[in-house]
Amino acid sequence: MNTQPYAEPWRIKMVEPLEILTREERIEKIRETEFNLFNLNAEDVYIDLLTDSGTGAMSDRQWSALMMGNESYGGSPSFRRLKETITELLGFPHVVPTHQGRAAENVLFSAMLKPGNVVPGNAHFDTTKGHIEFRNAIALDCTVDEASDINDHGPFKGNVDISKLRAGINKYGVENIPFMVLTVTCNSGGGQPVSMQNISEVAQVCREHKIPLFFDSARFAENAYFIKMREDGYQDKSIREIVKEMYSYADAMTMSAKKDGIVNMGGFIAMHDEELYRQCCTFNIMFEGYISYGGMSGRDMEALATGLMEGTEFEYLQARISQVAYLGAEICKLGIPIIRPTGGHAVYVDAKAFFPQIPQTEYPAQVLGVALYEEAGVRGVEIGTVLADRDPVTREERLPKMELLRLAIPRRVYTNNHMDVVAWGLKQIWEKRESYRGLKIKYEAPIMRHFTATFEQI
Ligand SMILES: *Cc1c(COP(=O)(O)O)cnc(C)c1O
């Protein structure tokens, strides 16, 4: 073959040296945390795939933009630049800056949600669900069934099941549904995208019932990339054209800029409706900061404006999503079961199939996470029974359908050589998989136990 090999559209200008502990040292470190991956010191981790949130590498242009930050309390040109970028890219005339995504949810939901309300969506993200349930409202999941089928290789497993959505509206009544949240890409479902076709059908149902449609937008550019690559009629459109079309269906959006904004901190709300903008401004001033900075400094807003443009370039997205696909393919080659196709930001290893001898009540995905740290210094995160927590009423453990180890890849941070180390680490465990035993919980907090739980080996 005479085609030129693929390589990333950048070179490295600054490096952050990493320390690599020995296997014996790591075994000791993870025992010191009592098998809790969150509590490891970050310097003791070689390749950190805990999250892709706020962990990306900024470009030279973003670092230069920081110097242009105007730190005025009111009327900062850095805010105007961010706002103009958002209006140009996504089409919304009004922008409310916040310090991160969950803050955007807090402000918007404070303006829109009342106790007893119902918010349909496609597997709401944890903080979204948290902010809904905290207001004594219900997050109604209408994701397609394929989303939780590990053997389904469909191209758009983040889609909404339109019949579930219609049934939900009929059951609860439009008067109780102040808005719907569509998450692009669908994080809880493995970073799986939503098709343009599905977006337009969802918007049609919402219009019929006059339900405002909000997009939870953390990975909107990754979603647009999948539309370009997988959906008929979009091959020749640019990412920005696709993004514009996606957002032509939305009434408002919340954004965690720590993902596709390629910044370490930041977020915003954007909307068409002026009255909603005014209401959000009031809550923003109470919770976040004045309407022209809302929890970000001027320099953060400059870096974000630049990051949003870089994050919607095809070449950048191709490098990013190809790297996720590369890691997925390397793991598959070993015969290790993962969710396929790989999504935009992470590879999810099926720990139930990896360790069939470990019952779900003994946390196979946590066992795999601990083992991967011990073998290769790689940190992933459990998305399984520990995360699913106990039923708030019965206090029984909720056993989720899937028991996963998530390996989330930071943007522009690691090379494919690092991905090879991750796959190699999994291979070491795979070859002696029968020898692993489960964990039992020693300490757990009453809610959100996964952050602080400690374990002992059985
Ligand atoms: C990360 C994320 C959020 C919350 O954003 P933070 O910046 O972490 O507060 C909300 N929704 C989705 C889909 C996310 O991925």
Residue by residue, pLDDT tens for the chain (458 residues) are 689 999 999 999 999 999 999 999 999 999 999 999 999 999 999 999 999 999 999 999 999 999 999 999 999 999 999 999 999 999 999 999 999 999 999 999 999 999 999 999 999 998 999 899 999 999 999 999 999 888 889 999 999 999 999 999 999 999 999 999 999 999 766 889 999 999 999 999 999 999 999 999 999 999 999 999 999 999 999 999 999 999 999 999 999 999 999 999 999 999 999 999 999 999 999 999 999 999 999 999 999 999 999 999 999 999 999 999 999 999 999 999 999 999 999 999 999 999 999 999 999 999 999 999 999 999 999 999 999 999 878 999 999 989 999 999 999 999 999 999 999 999 999 999 999 999 999 999 988 899 999 999 99
pLDDT of residue 1: 64
For the Cβ of 345 lying below 6 angstroms from any atom of ligand 1, the answer is no
Select from 143, 187, 192, 411 the residue to mutate for testing ligand 1; criterion: most ligand atoms less than 8 Å from CB: 187
pLDDT value of position 412: 98
Please identify, by atom number, the ligand 1 atom nearest to the C-alpha of residue 186: 13
Active site residues: 73, 125-126, 216, 218, 259, 450
Distances from the Cα of 248 to the Cαs of 138, 165, 177, 203, 253, in angstroms?
A: 27, 20, 21, 10, 11
CA 355 / ligand 1 centre spacing (Å): 30
Closest atom, ligand 1, to C-alpha of 103: 9
Report the atom number in ligand 1 closest to the C-alpha of 258: 7
Nearest-CA residue for atom 1 of ligand 1: 256
200 C-alpha vs ligand 1 centroid, how far in Å? 23
Ligand 1 site, residue 216, Cβ cutoff 6 A: yes
Q: How far is the CA of 428 from the centre of ligand 1 (A)?
A: 33
Which pLDDT belongs to residue 393?
83
3 state SS of 367: helix
**Would you list the domain boundaries of the chain?**
23-52+313-457, 60-310
- If phi > 0 it is left, if psi is from -120 to 50 it is alpha, else beta; for residue 305 that is alpha
Q: Cα(121)–Cα(165) distance, rounded to whole angstroms?
A: 8
pLDDT at 149: 85
**Residue 198, ligand 1, Cβ within 6 A:** no
Task: Write down the pLDDT at residue 148.
Answer: 85
pLDDT, residue 190, reads 80
Q: Is 369 in the pocket of ligand 1 (CB under 6 A)?
A: no
CA 353–ligand 1 middle distance (angstroms): 29
The owner of tokens 């959006």 is 253
State the pLDDT at residue 283: 98
Asked if residue 9 lies in contact with residue 319, where contact means CB atoms within 8 angstroms, the answer is yes
User: With contact defined as beta carbons under 8 Å apart, do 293 and 268 qualify?
Assistant: no
For 296-338, write each residue's pLDDT tens digit: 999 999 999 999 999 999 999 999 999 999 999 999 999 999 9
User: Taking a C-beta distance cutoff of 8 angstroms, is the pair 98, 284 a contact?
Assistant: yes
- Does residue 128's CB lie within 6 angstroms of at least one atom of ligand 1? yes
| CB of 185 closer than 6 angstroms to any ligand 1 atom | no
Contacts of 30 (CB under 8 A, 6+ apart): 37, 40, 370, 373, 374
127 lines ligand 1 (CB under 6 A): yes
Peptide bond into 17 cis (omega under 30): no
Cβ–ligand 1 contact at 178 (below 6 Å): no
Tell me, which fold does domain 60-310 have in CATH? Answer: Aspartate Aminotransferase; domain 2 (3.40.640)
Residue 3 Ramachandran class (φ > 0 left, ψ -120 to 50 alpha, else beta): beta
Could you tell which of 256, 260, 264 is best to mutate to test the pocket of ligand 1, judged by most ligand atoms within 8 Å of the CB? 256
Distance between Cα 335 and ligand 1 center (Å): 32
Determine if ligand 1 sits within 6 Å of the CB of residue 218. yes
Which pLDDT does position 188 carry in this prediction?
66
DSSP sequence for 22-33: -HHHHHHHHHHT
Flag whether the pTM goes above 0.75.
yes
Can you name the CATH fold of 23-52+313-457?
A: Aspartate Aminotransferase, domain 1 (3.90.1150)
Residue 358 Cα to ligand 1 midpoint, Å, equals 31
